[in-house]
Amino acid sequence: VQLQASGGGLVQFGGSLRLSCSASGSISAIRDMSWHRQAPGRQRELVATITSGGTTNYADSVKGRFAISRDNAKATVYLQMNSLKPEDTAVYYCSADYLIVVPTPIAGRSWGQGTQVTVSS
């Protein structure tokens, strides 16, 4: 499974951005898809997750402001980010957990290349 993220950029405090992450390869094997972020000098943190059935979970810091969604037909996951704050500045990464059953069961996680989000105050 290969992932390609896009949609980052520079936005002012209170603005919005929408990130996209498109999957290719064994897309039928994809289970959960997630967005993570890593700010300078900090560890990577989980921002939001969506299961194949559409159940979502969010980090407390983004609840009510961010929304994750997915289009299984397009093998794409989105992150709508509203009311952005300077502390949201980070490189955002998408991930996809997959389970390939045949010929040999293989489970793993693929990562996208990261997209920079910068929020100015």
Rounded-to-integer distance, Cα 82 and Cα 89, Å: 13
- Distance separating alpha carbons of residues 4 and 120, to the nearest angstrom: 25
Instruction: Give the pLDDT score at 101.
Output: 87
CB 76 within 8 A of CB 21: yes
Query: Helix, strand or coil for residue 87?
Result: helix
Report residue 18 as tokens.
Answer: 């929408």
Q: How do the pLDDT tens digits run along the chain, 121 residues long?
A: 999 999 999 999 999 999 999 999 988 999 999 999 999 999 999 999 999 999 999 999 999 999 999 999 999 999 999 999 999 999 999 999 999 988 889 999 999 999 999 999 9
Distance between CA atoms of residues 75 and 30, nearest Å: 9
Measured CA to CA, the distance from residue 88 to residue 117 in angstroms comes to 8
Measured CA to CA, the distance from residue 118 to residue 38 in angstroms comes to: 12
Task: Enumerate residues 6+ apart whose C-beta is below 8 A from 109.
Answer: 95, 96, 97, 98
> What per-residue confidence (pLDDT) applies to 82?
98
pLDDT at 36: 98
